[in-house]
């Protein structure tokens, strides 16, 4: 008898799922039977992702809202009628990616704001918006994608580390509050991922920058968007009903190899 993750009858919101890790998770959750709400700031990306899910035989709808605006998040959730599963994937390393990395002593509050707004407040907004429906239903799954930068620390990334660590702490606090309502809340902590933002570097995996970045990893490759997707689907399922408040590293052995 085979063991399968089944999400039939559940509605799952995956933020930032128009591309990269979010899209990988959305596709896997859809394949397990959930109706996926594809969220992205770009309608073009979101529609393309939803089309890909439907082409594969899954169910998908599009909801484009900005996770940094609570009013927009709450309005979208009200229109959706609530969700059973939330995957907090939307995140950034600053609006332009990773440029301008510098020691924390050389930063100012304006440098911190993009990291905190998306990676911390965006998660808080979404969790706050989904909880009333989940509590009323007596069921819910919340999975937040955090980073090993927040668990271990990375130089020249202080604000990003703080934001991701804050999101992980939110998970633990909320998990204590809502477990009695049948809601589980967990984190998946990622190492360096291969995403559209970093694709130029991985086109030359033997280059000095890519090799230096991979040196601490036991598995000498960046993570693929599909790598955390199976775990996300499991944590979103009824099978994970007695797992909450935890952080699961998916990082090619990075944190052990330090």
Say what the pTM is: 0.94
Q: What is the mean pLDDT of residues 162-183?
A: 98
Q: Which residues are catalytic?
A: 160
Angstrom CA distances, 216 to 145, 172, 212, 219, 258, stand at 21, 28, 8, 9, 6
Instruction: Tell me the two tokens of residue 52.
Output: 């890909």
Q: pLDDT tens digit string along 80-108?
A: 999 999 999 999 864 444 445 789 999 99
- Contact by Cβ (8 Å): 172, 186: no
> Which residues form the domain of 24?
11-250
Total residue length of the chain: 258
User: Does the residue 255 lie in any domain?
Assistant: no
Average pLDDT value for the chain: 92
Query: Which CA distances in Å does 181 have to 86, 166, 167, 256?
Result: 16, 23, 21, 35
Pairing type for strands 59-62 and 85-88 reads unpaired
Q: Going along 183-246, which residue ranges are E strands?
A: 183-190
> Does residue 94 lie within any of the structural domains?
yes
Separation CA 109–CA 100 (nearest Å): 14
Give the span between the Cα atoms of 108 and 165, in whole angstroms.
20
For residue 88, being part of any structural domain is answered with yes
* 4 within a domain of the structure (yes/no): no
CATH number of the structural domain spanning residue 159: 3.40.50.720
Report yes or no on 155 lying in a domain: yes
In a domain, 257, yes or no: no
Q: Distance (Å, rounded) from C-alpha 97 to C-alpha 195?
A: 11
**169: CB partners within 8 A, 6+ apart:** none
Whether 1 maps to a domain, the answer reads no
Percentage of the chain exceeding pLDDT 90: 75
Each residue's pLDDT tens digit, 111-153: 899 999 999 999 999 999 999 999 999 999 999 999 998 998 8
Does 78 reside within a domain?
Answer: yes
Domain count of the chain? 1
Q: How far apart are the first and last CA of the chain?
A: 40
């Amino acid at each position: 008898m085979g063991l399968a993750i089944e999400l039939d009858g559940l509605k799952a919101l995956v933020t930032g799922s128009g591309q990269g890790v979010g899209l990988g998770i959305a596709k896997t959750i859809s394949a397990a039977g959930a109706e996926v709400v594809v969220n992205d700031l770009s309608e073009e990306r979101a529609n393309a992702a939803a089309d890909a899910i439907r082409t594969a035989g899954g169910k998908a709808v599009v909801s484009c809202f900005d996770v940094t605006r609570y009013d927009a998040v709450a309005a979208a959730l009200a229109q959706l009628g609530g969700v059973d599963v939330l995957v907090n994937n939307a995140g950034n390393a600053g609006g332009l990616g990773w440029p301008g990395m510098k020691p924390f002593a050389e930063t100012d509050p304006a440098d911190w704001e993009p990291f905190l707004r998306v990676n911390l407040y965006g998660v808080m907004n979404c969790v706050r918006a989904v909880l009333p429906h989940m509590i009323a239903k007596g069921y819910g799954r919340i999975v937040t994608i955090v980073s090993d930068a927040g668990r271990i620390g990375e130089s020249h990334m202080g604000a990003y580390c703080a934001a991701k660590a804050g999101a992980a702490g939110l998970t633990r606090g909320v998990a204590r509050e809502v477990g009695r309502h049948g809601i589980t809340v967990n984190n998946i902590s990622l190492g360096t991922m291969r995403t559209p933002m970093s694709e130029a570097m991985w086109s030359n995996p033997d280059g000095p920058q890519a090799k230096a970045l991979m040196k601490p990893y036991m598995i000498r490759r960046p993570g693929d968007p599909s790598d955390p997707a199976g775990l996300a689907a499991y944590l979103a399922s009824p099978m994970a009903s007695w797992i909450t408040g935890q952080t699961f590293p998916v990082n090619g052995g990075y944190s052990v190899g330090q």
